[in-house]
Structure 1
């Protein structure tokens, strides 16, 4: 393995002792992020709190540019701009002045083993004692009921009273998942929250999921994080979804069917997790997808004006 220390460089002359923090939030995307949950949360943390860049990573060694081409703007007769990708470690300060770290940017395409070791070295150098991830996963649940969360961690003490949604399953790997796994191997604490996003809203910016992720992040770390603008965006998103439902009987009928099945399962399981039992009777994504095709097109075509709500951009 090449030297992991050569993957990053510090962007400040401040002594490492002065930029230390006990919490690291990792937001590097992955195989899936339903509702753009992680993206919305990371953007909100940087917009709502004071932050500085501590370190940057050499993306030329980590990214497949042809696999996900950066955006460029052509203006009449010349190239006007280039969306230069960046993978940065930020030092963010909560409302009480307590610092934490946020690693944000595109998920590495290459050198996962080396990148994992680089992050672990930064964690040790900067005094991090808990690493946290938040993202969204699509579920056959209605948006009108409380969202669920699948919790996972490097030891059982980090997820007390956890009622698992899943048993043992095989899933495509992600860098964040591998990082959590490696942290557990070396005895470092890591915790993750996968928010259950209604799969018919999985391609939109569903801010309700980001709000719940922020709440779980606050509870797990004790950080005093501002949720105001994210909550406002979530309210706007719910209003837009309601408007769309009122304009389409088919859409409303599908949501109401999900509500009835959700309530039936919840009652039958005596308030245990809805998805702790067989989902074979729930409608599939293909069945609901046909009903919601026009709905999602209308929602995503509204543009980015209400970023964070259901009117956000699709992927």
Structure 2
């Protein structure tokens, strides 16, 4: 393996003590992220808190440009702009003046082992005690019920009240998943939150999932992450979703069926959380997906639940 330290560049005009923080939040684009959960979370954190870039990774060594070509702007007879991809570490200040780190940018395509070692080096250098990652996963659940979250960590003590929803399974790997695994091997603390997004809303932005992720991160870290702006956006988004559902008897009937299925399992388990239910018994996306085709088409063609008031998102790769 090539030297992992050569992938990292620290800001030379910032003294090391002023770069340090005890929490690192990882929000890398590229892996499945239903509802654009981590993208919305990262945007919220950077928009509502003071931040500076303290380090960056050599993205030229780890990105497949032909696999996800960066956008360029052509104007009349010349190129005028290039959306230069970047993997950067922001030092963000929370509502009480406590610093934390936020890693944003595209998920690496190459050199995962080296990137993981480089990130662990960064964790050690900048005094990080806890690394947290979030993303959204599509689930056959209704948007009218509390959002479920699957939590995982390098040690059970980090998620003491966790209710296990899944048994052993093989899933496609992600860099965030590998990083959490390697941090555990290195004896470092790391937590991940997979937010359950109604699959029929997974194509666009779903701020309610990002708000749930924000609350989970805040509870796990003790950071004051200022939820008001994101909560307002989630409220507008929810009102638009409800309006569109009300306008379609077919969609409303399917949502109601999901609600009944959800409620029956919650009642049977005598618990309040979706994580206590037998998720394998919930209807699959294939079973009810056809009935939502018209709804998803509205979301894509007309702005739908992610209309002008809430921001329209593009489908996540």
Which category describes the TM-score, using the shorter chain as reference length? over 0.9
Correspondence list, 1:219-298, <5 A: 219-271=219-271, 273-274=273-274, 276=276, 278-279=278-279, 281-298=281-298
Partner Cα distance (2:89, 2:16) in 1:
13
In the other structure, the counterpart of 1:149 is: 149
In the other structure, the counterpart of 2:102 is: 102
Contact preservation (8 Å) 1:266, 1:272? yes
Partner Cα distance (2:104, 2:15) in 1:
22
Partner Cα distance (1:39, 1:293) in 2:
25
In the other structure, the counterpart of 2:313 is: 312
Contact preservation (8 Å) 1:12, 1:53? no
Q: Deviations over 1:221-278 (max 9, x none)?
A: 1111111221111111111111111221111111000000000111111116545554
Q: Structure 2 vs 1, CA of residues 307 and 51 (structure 1 numbering), >3 Å: closer, same or farther?
A: farther
Between 287-296 and 54-63, report the one with greater CA deviation.
Answer: 287-296
Q: Which runs of 5+ in 1 are unaligned?
A: none
* 1:280 positional shift: 5.2
The RMSD of aligned alpha carbons is 1.7
Contact preservation (8 Å) 1:302, 1:312? no
Between 270-279 and 283-292, report the one with greater CA deviation.
Answer: 270-279
Q: Structure 2 vs 1, CA of residues 240 and 305 (structure 1 numbering), >3 Å: closer, same or farther?
A: closer
Contact preservation (8 Å) 2:165, 2:278? no
When normalised by structure 1's length, the TM-score is 0.95
When normalised by structure 2's length, the TM-score is 0.94
In the other structure, the counterpart of 1:181 is: 181
* 1:71 positional shift: 1.2
Partner Cα distance (2:277, 2:197) in 1:
18
Contact preservation (8 Å) 2:36, 2:204? yes
Partner Cα distance (2:169, 2:145) in 1:
26
Partner Cα distance (1:218, 1:172) in 2:
28
Partner Cα distance (1:197, 1:262) in 2:
14
Correspondence list, 1:88-237, <5 A: 88-237=88-237
* 1:305 positional shift: 5.4
Q: Deviations over 1:39-67 (max 9, x none)?
A: 10011101110000001111110100111
Q: Structure 2 vs 1, CA of residues 204 and 131 (structure 1 numbering), >3 Å: closer, same or farther?
A: same
Q: Deviations over 1:112-163 (max 9, x none)?
A: 0100010101100110000001111111110000001111100010010211
In the other structure, the counterpart of 2:35 is: 35
Query: How many residues are matched?
Result: 314
Partner Cα distance (2:165, 2:34) in 1:
17
* 1:78 positional shift: 2.2
Partner Cα distance (2:280, 2:48) in 1:
42
